[in-house]
Amino acid sequence: MAERPAAEIAVPSKDPKEKKKEEDKKLDTKANGVKDEEEELSEEDAQLKSELEMLIERLKELNTDLYRPALETLRTLIRTSTSSMTSVPKPLKFLRPHYPGLQELFETWSTSENKSLFADILSVLAMTYSDTEPRGTLRYRLLSASLLPPTSEISEPGSWGHEYVRHLAAELGEEYTIRQEGEEAVPLPAPEADSDAPKSKPAPVPGTIEDLHNLGLECATFFLGHNAEPDAVDLFVELEIVDRIASLVDANTFGRVCAYMDRCVTLLPPPDDVTFLRTIHKIYLQFSKFPEALGVAIRLNDAALIRQDFNASGNPVMKKQLAFLLARAQIPIEWLKASASEDADAEDEFPEDILECLSNTQLSRHFKEFGKEVGVADPKSLEDVYKSHLETTRSGLSANVDSARANLAGTFVNAFVNAGFGNDKLMVEAEEGNSWVYKNKDHGMMSAAASLGLGLLWDTDVGLSHIDRYTYSPEEWIKAGAFFATGLLNAGVRTEADAALALLAEHVENQSVPLKTAAIMGLGVAYAGSHREDLLTLLLPAVADDGVSMEIAALSALALGFVFVGSGNGEITSTILQTLMERDDKALDEKWGRFMALGLALLYVGLQDASDATLETLKAIQHPISRQAQILVEVCSFVATGNVLRVQRLLHLCGEHLDALKEKEQAESAEGKKDENKDEKKEDKKPDDTFQSFAVLGIAMIAMGEDIGAEMSMRQFNHLMHYGDPIIRKSVPLALGLISASNPQLPILDTLSKYSHDHDLAVALNAIFAMGLVGAGTNNARLAQMLRQLAGYYYKEPDCLFMVRIAQGLVHMGKGTIGINPFFSDRNIMSRPAIAGLLATIMAFTDAKAFVLDKYHWMLYFLVTAMYPRFLITLDEDLESKPVTVRVGQAVDVVGQAGKPRTISGFQTHQTPVRLGTTERAELATEEFIPYAHVLEGFVILQKNPGWEKEDTMQM
């Protein structure tokens, strides 16, 4: 391309107006240049040039017998010269000036096999004219194919070399796009593009869309055979035939193709992303990669595919591994059973060992063993977490702290820190009558009793007997706490006994509000993601009943949202919509409205466009809650997709009434009534800005799970914090906590640390909680130090101090073994119940004064659906623990890189079981065992490598 302007600039040098001397000089240098160039040509090159010119002369002669040998020789010369990677091949360089003449010559020939070969050669030469004649290469390639007699075959595009194929692929994409935009009207767009061509009649690119597709398949086959998998995928994306790649890949290329396609998914607009996932799934199944295929099916949330993948493997051990994956994603067991109409012969019951894996029943046992292995089995006291001797407070000043408040904070810290180990001193191991419950007042007792459920998490056998004694308490709050504890205990674990349902169902209709809410939410948490129809009949009446308070209706809707998360259940949707339409404005204005909207939104987690009808219906509701619900439903539908257009829409909402306010203020200042109106306006505006808070959280929801989007959103949050209204500033820290849960990156920690000293206490409070979320279960020393400083800084602010304590509890969650990041399996698969739990907890903080700091602090326990041990435990084929050496290091993205680069960096070698951070990855240190799973995370079953010992003896 650089040569063209040079030629154009040389033209004015012959301008007659210029001085004679200058002209002479220029002509001299020009002649010298030509001479030099001639001299520079080596003997070999000069010979090649004259040979090429002679061949072209032959083509211009009348004797047609000379054409074939001349063309054959040209073809051979061009093909043999494309060896050098760095320079333009010599024949192309020498033939370039003759290209226009050859084009004209081509038009004069009659149709024959020779003309087809000529077109093929012109197609290669057209590469040198691609800037002035777009798509020339493609045009002649298709012409060459069309001129061939049916008996003979056209040469492969690859025979002209890699650069030619890449050129052809680029032009294919261009031509396809032009045709799609011009409604496949072939002749119209192409001639304009080709109008520079020195021909009397500019010709369009011939051929149908099908021809373009076929040529694309040839190019892709070449790419796949030459380690250019990404090019093949990109070409198919442009030609919109991605699904056809499944037929081209082989055992050597499928892994790289799938890895590249997987990385593209978050960058594609719907519905392309789903097409990609389905294609990846098809390829994995083709090569019997069941765990990978099942992972993709879970991401698609497609019950039929999940069942098909689970039953595809005949190997019982592989089935156990798949069962572990399904249990981690909390896929309803009912999905795996064939419906009666489909398959009457299908086995109804699974073997017991597979059912155990599916139900997570062994999770508690393995978790406790893991705790012993890593040396954290002993319970931690509050002082071990607070380390108040390191705090910077002056002694004697903290005496005015509200002791009930401090004890309540202690309840949560104890619950989160000792979660799952079932041995904490305050609750589980406490003697009768000396329990921590009695150190709390009223509603504090409920959270204290409920903390039992967290302490005994996943341990359904022992747990129920501990909780049971509190269910007979005369104190209503304690009883309610015990009910909620029953639900928490069963979170993510399915048992035959169905204890939670058996114990709590009867209390859903209880007259007492605390007992009723505890039973409803207990069921919601215990059966999160299970899609159980029997819970629908139990909880739905409370949503529709106008007689019950908004609190009960909203919490019932939320519980249903938990249970049916991501199901798009029509019955629940219509009932909640009906309720939102029929309830009077006073009820909808209550603080509980947001939870009803959230319950509706959770039904659509990850369903993308399926929520369109619901969004349209919501627009009909004449109340501010309609706008809140629309945003929540939309962001839940597109959670973790990185959909840019949705994020832009949310940013518009965040900046919405700033400008309007400014205009109003300017108008009012002219009238001089500025101050009075400000108060009035606050009154008017008050109920209607909650939606902005949800819009901010929505940006985090859509951007999470994809690093580039998350990084870009950080910058937007920074702007919102500078220029946003109080409601927006209050929500930014929560969004930061959500986008980086259990993943303490330094920039985020520094930002939150800054916000935690904000002059607006609501912002500071949320920033402190967000610090807890970001560091949840990481034991991050830097974060612990920041929180200790904050405890000293806020020693006179009971609310903030309460929050600092809870954040400290979260950072040491499960003594550093439990995380709340909703993504697993190399951060590829999103757990829907975890999203529900995180979102519900954060929703309570959009108005912390009304919920968490009031008497609904038990909402912090919603996090339990997102809590999961961050371990790697290797098991043998009988599911007994099997220690092996593994390397653990920071995960490195190696997609599209050549060869077999290292997938982890800065690794350390450990013996399993081992703890994995959010951004860490493990790989086996030796090849003695072959893992059944594709990602070493959670439970991994190993198989002895039969060829391993032989290698060992060979080394001897």
Q: How far is CA 567 from each of CA 281, 302, 626, 636, rounded to the nearest angstrom?
A: 21, 10, 21, 12
Please, which contacts does 500-506 make with residues 24 or more away whose CB atoms are closer than 8 Å? 500/526, 500/527, 501/526, 501/527, 501/534, 501/535, 503/471, 505/538
Residue 203 gets which letter from DSSP?
P
pLDDT at residue 200, rounded to an integer: 37
- CA dist 829 and 294 (Å) reads 10
pLDDT of 263 above 60: yes
pLDDT at residue 298, rounded to an integer: 94
pLDDT at residue 473, rounded to an integer: 86
Hey, what are 174's tokens? 């261009």
C-alpha of 189 from chain center: 39
Q: Is 51 exposed, middle or buried (0-12, 13-18, 19+ CB in 10 A)?
A: middle
Q: Can you tell me the mean pLDDT for 439-459?
A: 89
* 263 residue type, one letter: R
Q: 515 pLDDT band (50/70/90 cuts)?
A: very high
In order, the DSSP letters of 129-195 are: GTTTSTTHHHHHHHHHHHHS-TTS-PPPGGGG-HHHHHHHHHHHHHHHHHHHHTTT-STTHHHHHTT
pLDDT of 951 above 80: no
Hey, what are 498's tokens? 């169905």
pLDDT of 336 above 80: yes
For residue 695, give the 3-state DSSP assignment. helix
| Range with lowest mean pLDDT among 629-638, 675-684, 916-925 | 675-684
Residue 930 gets which letter from DSSP?
E
pLDDT at residue 394, rounded to an integer: 55
- 440 vs 274, more confident: 274
- CA dist 841 and 776 (Å) reads 14
pLDDT at residue 18, rounded to an integer: 46
Q: Which residues pair with 909 in a beta bridge?
A: 887
Q: Can you tell me the mean pLDDT for 886-900?
A: 89
Upstream peptide bond of 913 is cis (omega within 30 degrees of 0): yes
C-alpha of 347 from chain center: 35
Q: Can you give the three-state secondary structure of 499-539, one letter per residue?
A: HHHHHHHHHHHCCCHHHHHHHHHHHHHHCCCCCCHHHHHHH
Mean pLDDT of the chain: 85
Q: Are 371 and 377 in contact (CB under 8 A)?
A: yes
pLDDT of 131 above 90: no
Q: 193 pLDDT band (50/70/90 cuts)?
A: very low
pLDDT at residue 110, rounded to an integer: 83
In this prediction, what percent of the chain has a pLDDT beyond 70?
87
805's CB contacts (< 8 A; 6+ apart) are: 386, 406, 409, 410, 412, 413, 791
* 52 residue type, one letter: L
H-type alpha helices, 545-623: 550-563, 570-582, 585-589, 593-602, 612-619
Q: 680 pLDDT band (50/70/90 cuts)?
A: very low
Q: Are 309 and 291 in contact (CB under 8 A)?
A: no
pLDDT of 322 above 50: yes
- 599 vs 1, more confident: 599
* Nearest-5° Cα angle at 116, 111 to 120: 150
- CA dist 649 and 216 (Å) reads 36
pLDDT at residue 436, rounded to an integer: 81
285's CB contacts (< 8 A; 6+ apart) are: 293, 309, 312
pLDDT tens digits, residue range 381-399? 888 888 888 777 655 445 4
Q: 191 pLDDT band (50/70/90 cuts)?
A: very low
pLDDT of 106 above 90: no
In this prediction, what percent of the chain has a pLDDT beyond 90?
47
Q: Are 386 and 417 in contact (CB under 8 A)?
A: no
- CA dist 903 and 897 (Å) reads 11
| Range with lowest mean pLDDT among 12-16, 332-336, 529-533, 631-635 | 12-16
- 431 vs 243, more confident: 243
Give the H/E segment covering residue 267: none
pLDDT of 404 above 70: yes
